[in-house]
């Protein structure tokens, strides 16, 4: 078990030497509003976005998207009944919209939601804190919705996770192996709950020991080596209630499913001081990885003087990759990657960084986005909040590191007062070669906020350079489902690497070959067992990096 504690003196020494960075490159991908009806955004700490692509839907192959937002649902607001919800969208494989709309979740706060597949149907798990002003029913709940031809329809509503008189954060994750929920009951502790797929039947609520003074939990499901050695772990990140110390733990997925906290082990600690506070941490990990343990946490710390407006903010990532041996004597200790440190005077009310994080679908890069009021080349000044992002290289060949030139705008439009940002945070599970992003934007009329979305394809420089999208989009693997053969047509001449990986992480096929433009490449699969596989196609010169989920029947 590796641990590291950053004391205030170390923090001050590191930050004093760093150089502020500006987001120099504008985003050229469009911001799209969904839902069409504007709504207020109350909690900048939480939102969610999720996608599932190339599914067999009512119209044939479809892409599914959701994102959630939170409005004022606290006692005394008098407008809290219907201001939080989930926006949904169905498109064909060419991204033409088939239908889109939104649903309200009455009295919900801090909604986190994710799409999952079970038995050939597609569902949404949504978890939230429920506050209907009744002390007897306040607490954490989850809903299940199903995608059908009409959109998102309720299946199972208001399933109680536990009653809590005071608000505590809640988050979810989904992979092809299962579902996970984690939530905080202030003064009691952090809970976890899992369900195996197929079936989606949740086990008991599990209170994690020693967490009575912990808050702001996040969770990811990790399939692979290392960690507990069980092959399937929950990786959790949370803060102490003073919000100046971060903990990362693991616990075996199936122990939680059976109602046990056995194997709940602390792997990492870091702290800040001098009055600095952490934004709620976000953790992500590869859905499937055949190597050692891997996870990454985005963390922001800041100091804000309410009287003078002076702000010091630091955003960084903590990246664990056991395929990178590290430097003696720490070896596999996580790597701290400084992404941005800056001091400035805010001309408006400062919210906090609230960084979010996601692996790409090849698990060789990580993207981190956050909220800032710092001066940028695209949106000058310090009076409005802006959305920015950077990329991190993490391919196991060297220490994880910031990719030069990847510091760019997510949106060119600033947001006043209540910004919120969410990344889809799915890699292999979503069958999507990109990132689905949701965020709020200001509009100059009541209720003053729209929820926007955009999609960033992997292989793009952060939220720009749309010309790189075409070759990957034009590469289609067929048939799906398949029986004895698989094939695709090379969109450009390049040296291609093609592999097939089973859902337990085994590489069952691998081949390298130079293909010319228009050449068809075929994989013969009569000896392959029935099941679900991931095909990975890489052509480095043309920045093709495609992952597709396929079913053998």
On whether residue 2 sits in a domain, the answer given is: no
Give the span between the Cα atoms of 432 and 457, in whole angstroms.
9
Q: Is the pLDDT of residue 77 over 70?
A: no
Question: How many angstroms separate the CA atoms of 8 and 30, rounded?
Answer: 41
User: Does residue 488 share a domain with residue 430?
Assistant: no
500 and 417 in one domain? no
Q: What is the pTM of this model?
A: 0.80
Within a domain: 36: yes
Q: What gap in Å lies between CA 10 and CA 337, rounded to an integer?
A: 15
> Per the domain annotation, does 534 fall within a domain?
yes
Provide, rounded to the nearest whole percent, the portion of the chain with pLDDT above 70.
85
Cβ neighbours around 434 below 10 Å, total: 19
* 523 in the same domain as 459: no
Give the Å distances, CA to CA, from 248 to 121, 244, 296, 434. 34, 14, 10, 27
Neighbour-count burial of 521, counting CB atoms closer than 10 A to its CB (0-12 exposed, 13-18 middle, 19+ buried): middle
* Whether pLDDT at 45 is above 80: no
C-alpha–C-alpha distance, residues 220 and 237, integer Å: 9
pLDDT at res. 193: 99
- Within this chain, do residues 503 and 451 fall inside the same structural domain, yes or no? no
pLDDT of residue 39 exceeding 90, the answer is no
Question: What pLDDT, on a 0 to 100 scale, did the predictor assign at position 225?
Answer: 82
User: Do 483 and 454 share a structural domain?
Assistant: no
What's the average model confidence in pLDDT over 410-433?
Answer: 79
Please state the rounded mean pLDDT for residues 280-308: 89
- H-state helical runs in 168-309: 253-257
Among the listed residues 244, 260, 321, the one whose alpha carbon sits nearest the alpha carbon of residue 286: 321
How close are the terminal C-alpha atoms of the chain, in Å?
A: 42
pLDDT tier for residue 356 given thresholds of 50, 70 and 90? very high
* C-alpha to C-alpha distance for 64 and 70, rounded to whole angstroms: 21
| pLDDT of amino acid 43 | 64
Within a domain: 3: no
Among candidate residues 424, 440, 463, the one where a domain is terminated: 463
β pairing state of 214-224 and 288-289: parallel
- The enclosing domain of 248 has a CATH number of 2.130.10
Q: Are 234 and 221 in contact (CB under 8 A)?
A: yes
Structure confidence by residue, pLDDT tens digits, 531-549: 888 788 877 666 676 777 7
Listed residues 420, 442, 463: the one ending a domain: 463
361, 481: one domain: no
Q: Are residues 246 and 104 part of one domain?
A: yes
Domain's final residue, options 439, 463, 487 = 463
Residue partners of 88: CB distance under 8 A and separation at least 6: 64, 65, 66, 100, 101, 102, 103, 124, 147, 151, 152
Q: Is the pLDDT of residue 55 over 60?
A: yes
Least confident of 30-44, 170-184, 196-210, 293-307: 30-44
Instruction: Note whether 494 and 379 are same-domain residues.
Output: no
Give me the sign of the Cα torsion angle 198, 201, 207, 213. positive
Domain identity same for 265 and 117 = yes
User: What number of CA atoms fall less than 13 Å from residue 38's CA on the CB side?
Assistant: 12
What's the rounded mean pLDDT across residues 280-285? 95
The string of DSSP letters for 142-173 reads EEEEEEETTEEEEEEEEEEEEE-SS---EEEE
Higher pLDDT, 166 or 459: 166
Q: How far apart are CA 116 and CA 114, in angstroms?
A: 7
Is 455 in the same domain as 519?
no
Is residue 1, in this structure, part of any structural domain at all? Answer: no
Mean pLDDT of the chain: 84
Q: What is the domain extent for residue 276?
A: 8-463
Burial of 520 from C-beta contacts in 10 A (0-12 / 13-18 / 19+): exposed
Reference 131, options 207, 195, 201, 43; nearest CA is 43
Triad 265, 6, 235: Cα angle to 5°: 30
Domain at 543, CATH number: 2.60.40.3080
Contact (Cβ atoms closer than 8 angstroms) between residue 319 and residue 394? yes
Q: Is residue 487 scored above 50 in pLDDT? A: yes
**What are the C-alpha distances in Å from 269 to residues 7, 189, 247, 265, 285?**
11, 18, 5, 12, 18
Which backbone phi and psi does 423 adopt, to 5 degrees? -110, 150
What's the rounded Cα separation, in Å, for the pair 376 and 22? 5
* pLDDT for the residue numbered 33: 87
The mean per-residue pLDDT over the stretch 395-421 comes to 87
Residue-wise burial string across 35-65, b where 16 or more C-beta atoms lie within 10 A, e elsewhere: beebbbbbbbebbbbbbbbbbebeeeebbbb
Residue 511: helix, strand or coil by DSSP? Answer: strand
Residue 218 pLDDT:
97
Q: How far apart are CA 423 and CA 434, in angstroms?
A: 10
Q: Has residue 160 been placed in a domain?
A: yes
Give the chain's domain count: 2
Q: Check if the beta carbon of residue 158 is closer than 8 Å to that of residue 130.
A: yes
Identify the three-state secondary structure at position 466.
helix
Residue 352 to residues 138, 245, 275, 407, 546, Cα–Cα distance (Å): 27, 16, 14, 19, 35
Query: Mean pLDDT throughout 317-346?
Result: 85
Give the span between the Cα atoms of 538 and 523, in whole angstroms.
Answer: 15
Between 469 and 446, name the one with better pLDDT: 446
Strands 386-393 and 365-372: antiparallel
Instruction: Please tell me whether residues 455 and 518 are part of one structural domain.
Output: no
Please answer whether residues 494 and 516 qualify as being in contact, where contact means their C-beta atoms are separated by less than 8 angstroms: no
Q: Do 338 and 395 fall within a single domain?
A: yes
């Amino acid at each position: 078990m590796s641990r590291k504690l950053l004391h205030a003196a170390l923090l001050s020494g590191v930050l004093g030497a760093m150089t502020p960075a500006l987001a120099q490159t504008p985003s050229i991908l469009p911001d799209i509003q969904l839902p069409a009806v504007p709504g207020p955004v109350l909690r900048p700490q939480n939102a969610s976005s999720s996608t599932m692509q190339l599914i067999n839907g009512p119209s044939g192959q479809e892409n599914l998207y959701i994102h959630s937002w939170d409005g004022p649902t606290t006692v005394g607001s008098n407008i809290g009944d219907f201001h939080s919800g989930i926006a949904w969208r169905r498109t064909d494989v060419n991204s033409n919209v088939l239908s889109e709309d939104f649903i309200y979740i009455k009295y919900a706060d801090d909604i986190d939601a994710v799409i999952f597949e079970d038995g050939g149907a597609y569902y949404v798990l949504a978890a939230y804190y429920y506050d209907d002003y009744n002390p007897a029913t306040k607490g954490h709940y989850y809903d299940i919705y199903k995608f059908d031809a009409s959109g998102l329809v309720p299946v199972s509503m208001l399933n109680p996770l536990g009653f809590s008189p005071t608000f505590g954060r809640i988050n979810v994750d989904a992979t092809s192996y299962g579902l996970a929920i984690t939530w905080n009951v202030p003064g009691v502790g952090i809970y976890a709950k899992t369900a195996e797929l197929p079936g989606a039947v949740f086990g008991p609520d599990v209170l994690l020991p020693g967490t009575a003074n912990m808050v702001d939990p996040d969770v990811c499901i990790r399939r692979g080596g290392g960690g507990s050695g069980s092959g399937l772990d929950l990786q959790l990140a949370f803060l102490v209630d003073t919000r100046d110390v971060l903990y990362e733990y693991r616990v075996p997925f199936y122990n939680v499913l059976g109602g046990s906290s056995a194997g709940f082990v602390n792997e990492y600690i870091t702290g800040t001081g001098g009055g600095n506070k952490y934004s709620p941490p976000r953790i992500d990990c590869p859905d499937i990885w055949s190597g050692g343990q891997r996870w990454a946490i985005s963390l922001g710390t800041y100091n804000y003087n309410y009287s003078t407006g002076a702000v010091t903010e630091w955003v960084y990532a903590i990246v664990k990759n056991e395929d990178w041996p590290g430097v003696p004597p720490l070896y596999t200790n996580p790597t701290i990657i400084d992404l941005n440190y800056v001091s400035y005077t805010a001309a408006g009310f400062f919210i906090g960084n609230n960084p979010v994080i996601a692996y790409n679908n090849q698990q060789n890069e990580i993207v981190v986005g956050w909220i800032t009021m710092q001066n940028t080349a695209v949106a000058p000044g310090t009076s409005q909040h802006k959305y920015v992002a950077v990329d991190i290289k993490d391919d196991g060949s060297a220490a994880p590191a910031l990719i030069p030139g990847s510091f760019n705008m997510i949106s060119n439009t600033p947001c006043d007062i209540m910004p919120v940002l969410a990344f889809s945070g799915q890699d292999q599970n979503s069958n999507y070669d990109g990132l689905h992003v949701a965020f709020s934007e200001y509009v100059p009329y009541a209720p003053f906020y729209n929820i926007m979305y955009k999609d960033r394809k992997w292989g793009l420089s952060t939220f720009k350079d749309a010309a790189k999208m075409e070759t990957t989009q034009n590469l289609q693997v067929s048939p799906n489902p398949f029986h004895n053969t698989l094939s695709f047509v090379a969109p450009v001449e390049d040296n291609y690497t093609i592999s097939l990986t089973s859902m337990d992480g085994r590489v069952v096929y691998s081949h390298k070959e130079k293909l010319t433009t228009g050449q068809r490449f075929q994989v013969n699969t009569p000896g392959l067992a029935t099941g679900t596989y991931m095909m990975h196609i890489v052509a480095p010169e043309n920045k093709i990096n495609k992952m597709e989920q396929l079913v053998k029947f």
